[in-house]
Structure 1
Amino acid sequence: CRRLLNVHLEPDKEDSTCGGCFGLFPRGIDLEMPLGDVEENLRMEQTDASVTPQEVRSAFVSFRCRYGAAIASSLQQSEKPTEWAAEQAPEPNDVYWPFFHSSFLQRWTSKVVIIVTCILLTVLFVIPVVVAQGLTNLSQLEVWFPFLKSILAKKMISQIITGYLPNLILHSSVKLIPRVMLFLSLIQGHISYSEIQRSACNKASFFVAYVVTSGWTSISSELVRVSQLIRSLLRKSCCCCSSTPDEIQAPYIKYHWEIPRMLLLGLLGITYFFLAPLILPFLLVYFLLAYIIFKNQFINVYAPKFESAGKFWPVVHNSMIFSLVLMHAIALGIFTVKKVPSASSIIFPLPILTLLFNEYCRKRFLPNFIVYSAKTLINKDREDTHDPEMPKFFSQLLTAYKDPALSPVQFSNSDGQTVPYFSGDSITPLLYPRIDP
């Protein structure tokens, strides 16, 4: 069932605010009867789904203690590893219901298809990168297009072509990547929005311009949020649906969009430090502004859609390690070409030390981002035994994991019931098992 939101009607008059072009030529529409019929049909569908539910090979299982849930999720449940697959359940608001009952074979097939698609996407992304790189070289442009010599002789035009145009091409291409990757993650078979968003993230003067134009403008637009304001005004003027304060939903941070953008700028700054040291001050200013602005946004603007539990930090760490190793390789190549053996000998141990540091971090810190320690779980369980709110918490487990399609929704202003005629609540969990034939 598809939920209809933000539709209301004054009790004593028809809705005469919607309709027409940009609300200039309104026409009266009485939505009371159609919405009443929709409510009735929706309740009937919810009743059918509750009385005769469709069985799926997935379920939520609840435990009385965290330690028991951790043991059950870590053990192999059957002789066949793919017959009973168990994993920690996401939060109720984090469940991605379309892939809740996906089987092991479906998820494995989707993963293989997504890997192949990502490889093809990476190859196709080389095309705008090559075009942007070619535009940064005037001599190369004159060889490819001899008729542009007279135009490129003008200083202002050459600066626009070599400085701004490549940045515009690359920035437009980069804008599409998060949306494409999010779409691919949606069909990969993840059961939570947090997993979706996690899976989901040549010239030195050109990259300095990219950091300045893309980085600084994006971080300032994050504070002003002009695009969101324009989108809201257009929605109100075109749809003419006014929203009360109770209906306005607070925005949430798009991790799959913001984190890859910052990691890209960090990669450019660290990698091209040897080619253009001037990039570091611009990058430092960007990260300082980002810290101040996003701190304000998290406190005063954004509302969390799900708890990330710090699981994006391994992604940031891996990106920084890759950037450092790439920087060492570029520096080693530069010093070798410049025939500076002393500098090359000093640089050579650095990538080895970086990889050793990465291996130490993987052994020391990465397990804490994957599972909780038994000591922590036992201590929390002991604290819960003295918590008077635990009986209330266990009673709420009965309705915590509920498909949004079965939730009561009121479309019209009628005083009738909005819940299904009959609803069957099922116990919900801390563990998510899948049963494959």
Structure 2
Amino acid sequence: MLHQIMFGKQVINYFFRNLWRWNNILESLSTHEYLPCLFLLHRLWVHFSCLCLISFYGLYLLYKTSHLLNILFAIPLHFSHCKMQPFYLQEYNEILAKRTQQLQNIRHQPAQFTVLVREIPLCSEHKTSGCSVDHFFSKHYPYAYHSYQMLYDATDLEQLLELPVAFVTFKSRWGAALAAQSQQHPHPLLWITEMAPEPRDVLWKNLATSYRYLPLQNLLVFIAASLLTIFFAIPVTAVQGIAKFEKLRKWFPPAMALQLIPGLRSVVTGYLPSAVLKGFIYIVPFAMLGMAKLAGCVSGSKQEIKCCSMVFYFLVGNVFFLSLLSGSLLDEIGESFSNPKNFPSHLASAVSAQADFFMTYILTDGLSGFSLEVLQPGLLIWDFIKSHTYSRGKEKVPYLYSMPYFRVIPFVSLSILIGTVYAVVAPLLLPFLIGYFFFGYAVYVNQVYTLNFVLSNENVAQDFFYSIIVVNAYY
């Protein structure tokens, strides 16, 4: 907080000492770029007041969290001399009841006590991996080790092939966590341990893949994602060309007919680029998920997390930076290479010039995206086709699952990035962003409650994963 206040003070002093520089800069800017800078110059204290408010609120949350932790690990007898003894005891009892309920739920989750071990060497005496696992963990974890289960390749039932992979169970969660987070052997590619996923979440085919090939698979996935990001620049550049009516009229002369119909030009250059871009981007998460399946993840949740990070970097590279570069900066790209010192100023002018596009993008995503999320037309059509073709006569699922993690969170993170960048440059974008988050909270909080009801007896890990991530992201 002190650093923020001192930084704000230095910025204000700098602005007042160099006011004549700002006057020269403002005179050289257009009307669209002038207003945000003027707003920043005369209302700078509002922004730093908001930063101070956010900082104080964060400190309050930290204090509240530490207070709850102190009560959580305290003993009720410690409050015997406290005047507010009933209040503390009531709060302590509530937290104790929640912890007891959580521990009871964990008792039915053996994955909390199990470690996945890969690249197990053969035993020198019996030439089997199972004997090596038992000797190793009995020696290094004599009090925590409980049992083990080797994995077999059941492609040929007559000749089961033992894989160098095993699930090792411990007597306590502490022992399992210690074994999963420790390096078991000086050789980094032997005795590789990690916490075991839930049985429903395990990707059994990927466990048969040798750990030595995973870096090569990750490299191939990275190259494929990079190529998709590069080639996706073609539709993004075309969309930005539509947003510029002067360029559109130059490239496509029949576009001059748009001026004859009142309001059609603003619709084509304003709403159409964002709608087309959303249509192209909608297929990207599923393409990234297909690539993430080649990375050899041991669980479906890790596979979705990897896909989520790939989609986010794709959106940052294409939707954000490429939208800036393909706009006003593309015309001056040669000058930027000849004069690299002018590149930051060109990039700053490009950011302010694309404010209207990102404002329309967030508005389009908020109205069309959330309405489609509520209606779920794609899932309805797919369920109708499936129920009338190959799934005819089978038991029907009474619910439609939606909201995959890799399709929701990257777009929310991109909106946060856009709002952070344009909070000062284009303050009018903030109301649209706030409305976007309110719409998202209203839509996804109901889906989270539905998933909590539906998945309570089917997939506890997915239920907890979605509810924690999505609700916190939108709240």
TM-score range, shorter chain: 0.5 to 0.7
SS of aligned partner of 1:241: coil
User: 1:316/1:190 Cα in 2 relative to 1: closer, same or farther (>3 Å)?
Assistant: farther
- Please say if residues 136 and 166 of structure 1, whose CA atoms lie closer than 8 Å, have aligned partners that are also in contact: yes
CA–CA distance in 2 between the matches of 1:47 and 1:100?
13
Partner of 1:95: 202
How many residues in Structure 1 have an aligned counterpart in Structure 2? Answer: 273
The residue number in structure 1 matching 2:338 is none
Distance 1:145 1:223, change over 3 A: closer
- CA shift in 2, pair 1:63/1:204, >3 Å: same
Equivalent residue for 1:157, pick from 248, 251, 264: 264
How far the C-alpha of 1:205 sits from its partner, in A, is 2.4
In structure 1, the residue matched to 2:95 is none
Structure 1 residues 301 and 243: alpha-carbon distance in aligned structure 2, compared to 1, 3 A threshold: farther
Q: 2:367 aligns with which of 207, 216, 219?
A: 216
My pick for the range that moved more, 172-181 or 135-144, is 135-144
| CA displacement 1:100-143 (0-9 Å, x = unmatched) | 12222211101111122222222122222211112111122223
| CA–CA distance in structure 2, aligned partners of residues 237 and 119 of structure 1 | 39
What residue is the counterpart of 2:411 in the other structure? 261
Would the aligned equivalents of 1:167 and 1:209 in 2 still touch at CA under 8 Å?
yes
Give the 3-state SS of the residue equivalent to 1:58 in structure 2: strand
Partner of 1:141, secondary structure, is helix
1:290 to 440, 444, 456: 440
**Contact 2:409-2:470 within 8 A present in 1 as well:** no
Q: Which structure has more helix as a fraction of its residues?
A: 2
| Matching of residues 195-234 of structure 1 within 5 Å | 195-201=302-308, 203-234=354-385
Structure 1 residues 159-179: Cα deviation after superposition (integer angstroms, max 9, x where no partner): 232122211221122112101
TM-score by length of 1: 0.55
Corresponding residue for 1:135?
242
1:271 aligns with 2:378: no
1:47–1:226 Cα change, 3 Å: closer
| Shift in alpha-carbon separation, 1:252–1:207, aligned structure 2, 3 A | closer
Q: Distance in 2 between the 1:219 and 1:147 partners? A: 35
Task: Tell me, yes or no, if structure 1 residue 235 matches structure 2 residue 386.
Answer: yes
Q: What's the offset of the Cα at 1:95?
A: 0.5
Distance 2:363 2:180 in 1: 47
Which AA in structure 2 matches 1:278?
L
Q: TM-score with structure 2 length normalisation?
A: 0.51
- Does the residue aligned with 1:133 lie in a helix, a strand or coil? helix
Q: Supply the RMSD in Å over aligned alpha carbons.
A: 3.3
* Paired amino acid for 1:219: F
What displacement does 1:147 show? Answer: 4.7
- Higher relative CO (Cα under 8 Å, sequence separation at least 6) belongs to 1
Partner of 2:57: none
Could you give the per-residue CA deviations for residues 188-209 of structure 1, whole angstroms, max 9, x where no partner exists?
0110011111111353222222
Q: Using the alignment, how far apart are the partners of 1:314 and 1:243 within structure 2?
A: 34
**Aligned equivalents of 1:295, 1:196: Cα separation in 2:** 24
The amino acid that maps onto 1:307 is A
Which of 290, 296, 319 is residue 189 of structure 1 equivalent to? Answer: 296
| Contact 1:198–1:312 (8 Å) recurs in 2 | no
Displacement, 1:47? 9.4
The alpha-carbon distance between structure 1 residues 158 and 252, as it changes in their structure 2 partners (threshold 3 A), is closer
> Residue 221 of structure 2 contacts residue 291 of structure 2 at CA under 8 Å; is this kept in 1?
yes
Q: Structure 1 residues 221 and 132, CA, compared in 2 at 3 Å: closer, same or farther?
A: same
SS of corresponding position for 1:196: helix
Once residues 160 and 300 of structure 2 are traced to their aligned partners in structure 1, the CA distance between those partners, rounded to angstroms, is: 25
1:99 is displaced (CA, Å) by 0.5
Output the amino acid matched with 1:70: A
In 2, the alpha carbon distance for the partners of 1:295 and 1:77 equals: 43
Shift of 1:311: 10
Give the 3 Å change call, closer, same or farther, for CA 316–178 of structure 1 in structure 2. farther
Take 1:316 and 1:118, find their aligned partners in 2: how far apart are those partners?
29
* Distance in 2 separating the partners of 1:48 and 1:221: 43
Q: 1:146 to 1:47 in 2, by over 3 A?
A: closer
Instruction: Specify the SS of the correspondent of 2:169.
Output: coil
Superposition pairs for residues 51-200 of structure 1, below 5 Å?
52-152=159-259, 154-200=261-307
Structure 1: which 5+ runs fail to align? 1-45, 321-437
SS in 2 for 1:272: helix
Is the contact made by 2:270 and 2:357 (CA closer than 8 Å) also made in structure 1? yes
CA distance in 2, matches of 1:86, 1:311: 26
SS in 2 for 1:187: helix
Distance in 2 of aligned mates of 1:101 and 1:175: 33
Q: Deviations over 1:345-369 (max 9, x none)?
A: xxxxxxxxxxxxxxxxxxxxxxxxx
